[in-house]
Amino acid sequence: MVVRPSERSSVSTQVETHEFQAEAQQLLQLMVHSIYSNKDVFLRELISNAADALDKLRLETFVDKDLQVDTSDLHVQIEVDREQRTLTVRDNGIGMSRAEVVQLIGTIAKSGTAELLAKARESQESGSAELIGQFGVGFYSSFMVADRVSLVTRRAGEDEATRWESDGSGTYTVETVQEAPQGTAVTLRLRPEEADDGLFDYSSEHKIRELVQRYSDFITWPVRMEVERSDDDGSTKREIETLNSMKALWARSRDEVSDEEYAQFYKHVSRDWRDPLEVIAVSAEGTFEYKALLFIPSHAPGDLFAEDHRQGVQLYVKRVFVMDECAALVPPYLRFVKGVVDAQDLSLNVSREILQQDRQITLMRRRLTKKVLSAVKHMMSEDHERYATFWAEFGAAFKEGILSDAENRDTILEIASFASTHDAERTTTLRQYVERMGEAQRDIYFMTGASRSIIESSPHIEAFRAKGYEVLLLTDPVDEVWVDSVAEFDGKPLRSIAKGELDLDAEEDESAEPEREQRQEEFAGLLSWMTALLEEQVKEVRLSSRLTTSPACLVSGAHEMTPTMEKLYRAMGQELPPTKRVLELNPAHALVDGLRKAHDERGDAAGLAETVELLHGSAVLAEGGELTDPARFTRLLADHLARDL
C-alpha cells in the first residue's frame, strides 16, 4: 500500500492516497467491464447498507444512554442531479469513523477475496449471465454504474467526518473533513446510459422508483426522494415523497391484517388478478429466525406443467429483496405456491447454488413444506368445497410429491384424493376407500387410463362393478408412475385391475374351485391353440375372472408397463421394444364359448383363425389401443358380417 499526502481544501486535513490490493483491483476491473447482467441491484445494496446504519443507530441509543443524537426522523434519502449525472444515497444513521472507513470500505473483503475473484473469472469464462444473485460486493457494486464514487460519513457522537473517494482504477483517497451531517452519503457519478449493456438512466425518477419498489419496498425505514409535481393550474413544484410502502405484512400477526390486505399483497407478488385460495403465515424464532407469508392460488397457471414454468417464492433478507423465484425454498410439487420468505441471518449475496446446499435453507424448506401440507389437510377436513377447488387445480402436480418427497409421502397420501367408481362427482381419499371396503376385499383396486370415461368402459372393470368393488380411476400421467412406488396404504395392498392374474371368485367362495378346474380343462385346447396362433402379439391366452359382459381383454404383467405408460415414453421420444401382453377370455361369453365348440369340432380352420384375430383386435380397441393393421381388421370384420347376412 502506498500513502501519498496532499491538500484537498481548507476544511479538510491531510489526504491519503492508497492503492487497492491486486486482487481487489482485478475484481473491480471485471465489474467495470460489465460481467454482471443485472446492474440494477447497486441501489438495493446502497439502500440496504443505509437501513443497516439506521438499525445500528437505534440500537446504539438504547445501549449508550449518553449518546446525544436525534432519532426522531430516521430515513434514507435519494438525491439526483441530472445535469451533473450524480446520484446520492444518504442516511442519518450510525455513520463511520475514519478507522472504520479504512477497515470496512478501504478493502473489498478482509478474507475470501481470492475465492471471490476466482468465481468471477469462472463465471465470465463460462458466459454466465447471472452473477448478481450468485455473489456480490455490496458497496462496491456502485462501480457497475458509476465511474467515480465518493463517500462522506460521520459517526454519531463524533465531530469529524471522513471522505472516501475512488474511480475504481487502482487507488482511493481517504481524508478527514470538518463539517458533515451525521450518517453516511454515497455519491455516484453515473456512467452514460447504455441499455444494450444493461446500463439504464439511473438519474431518472421513474427508474429509481421502479428499483426501490422492487428491491426495497418493505424495509423498515422510509426511502425518500424529491420529485417534481404539476399542480392543477399547470405550474410545477418540488416535494419530498416516500417511495417505499414499508408494509411488510409477513412481519405482522395474522389478527392484525385483513383478508383484503392479504389479497392485495398476493396479487402484488403473484401478478394474479384473483384472490388466493389459502393464506399461510409462518414465523420461526430461535437460533435461526425467519418469517414467511405463503399463498395457495385459486387457479392453476396455464404453464404449470411446462418445463420453463417459473417456480419458487420471493426471498428477502431483513426485508430487502434478494431473489424473485427461490426454487430452493419449496419442492417442485408445490411449485404453484406463491409468497415471500424473509430471513434474518442470510447474506444478501447468496447464490442459487449456495441455497441448494445451505443448511438453513434446507430447514426452512422442510418447515414451509409441512406448513403447506398442514394447510391443505385442514382444508380437506374443514372446508371440502375449498379443498375440492385445490385438488381440481393442483392435484396432478401435488401427487408428484408421492414420488419425490419420501419424508412426507404418508401425509401426501392421506391428503390426496382420487376419482372412483363410488361417486361420479366427488373424489375420495384412500382413508375413505379403506373404510368402505367389505370384509371379503383384501386389496385397494385401481386402474390407470387416459380419461374416466375410457376406464369406466374398459372390460377390466366389469367384474368389479358386478361384485360392488370400488375402483380408483387414475387419469393423470403421474398416476402411472407413483402407483408402482406405493405398495400399500394402511396395510392394504394397492393392486391394478389391468395387471397380473385376478381371481375374484376365490376371494368370496373357495367352494367354486372344482368348477373353475373343470372349466379350465374344457378350454385347455382352445387356449393352447390361440396362444400359438397369436404368439407374435401375446405371450399367453388364459381364462379371466374380471370379465362379465365383454368377450376378451388384454392384461399387462404385474411388473410391466401399461399401454398408457408406453405412450408417455414414446411421446417423450423414447423408443421402447414391443411388449407382449396376456389375452384373457370370458368363458361365459357366447362368442368365446362358441369359439371353443367350433375349435373342438373343426380344429384350426381358417375362418376360426380370422375370428381369433378379430377377437384380439377388439380387445386392443376396447382399451383405447391402436391396431397394427387397421385396414386388415376392417376387411376381416366386413367379411364376417357379410357372411352372417
Does 138 belong to an annotated binding site?
yes
DSSP string covering 397-460, please?
Answer: HHTHHHHH-GGGHHHHHHH-EEEETTEEEEEEEHHHHHHH--TT--SEEEEE-S-HHHHHTSGG
Residues near 115 by Cβ (< 8 Å), separated by ≥ 6?
none
Does 111 belong to an annotated binding site?
yes
Does 85 belong to an annotated binding site?
no
Distance CA 607, CA 595 (A): 11
Does 49 belong to an annotated binding site?
yes
Does 565 belong to an annotated binding site?
no
Residue tagged 387457479 (cell numbers): 299
Distance CA 562, CA 403 (A): 18
Strand locations in 121-273 (E): 146-154, 161-166, 171-177, 183-190, 223-230, 236-242
Residue tagged 381419499 (cell numbers): 429
Residues near 257 by Cβ (< 8 Å), separated by ≥ 6?
249
80: which 3 cell numbers?
Answer: 439526483
Does 247 belong to an annotated binding site?
no
Does 110 belong to an annotated binding site?
yes
Encode 248-270: b = buried (16+ Cβ within 10 Å), e = exposed.
bbbeeeeeebeeeebeebbbebb
- Please count the other Cβ atoms lying within 10 Å of the Cβ belonging to residue 99: 10
End-to-end CA distance of the chain: 108
Angle between the 630-643 and 606-622 helix axes, to the nearest 10 degrees?
120
Cβ pair 395, 359 in contact under 8 A: no
Strand locations in 516-618 (E): 538-543, 552-555, 581-585
Does 142 belong to an annotated binding site?
no
Does 134 belong to an annotated binding site?
yes
Does 586 belong to an annotated binding site?
no
Q: Do the bridges between strand 313-317 and strand 236-242 make them parallel or antiparallel, or are there none, so unpaired?
A: unpaired
Distance CA 634, CA 494 (A): 38
Does 45 belong to an annotated binding site?
yes
- Please count the other Cβ atoms lying within 10 Å of the Cβ belonging to residue 445: 23
Of 353, 379, 370, the closest CA to residue 411 belongs to 370
- Max CA pair span of the chain: 124
Does 20 belong to an annotated binding site?
no
Residue tagged 491531510 (cell numbers): 14
Distance CA 645, CA 632 (A): 20
Does 597 belong to an annotated binding site?
no
Does 365 belong to an annotated binding site?
no
Does 352 belong to an annotated binding site?
yes
Q: How far is CA 154 from CA 50, 180, 183, 548, in A?
A: 13, 7, 5, 91
Cβ pair 91, 78 in contact under 8 A: no
Distance CA 265, CA 269 (A): 6
Q: In what order do the strands lie in the sheet with 171-177?
A: 12-19, 171-177, 161-166, 146-154, 183-190, 86-91, 76-81, 223-230, 236-242
Reduce the DSSP state of residue 15 to 3 states and report it.
strand
The binding site comprises: 45, 49, 91, 96, 110-112, 134-139, 184, 352
**Which residues are documented as binding site for ATP?**
45, 49, 91, 96, 110-112, 134-139, 184, 352
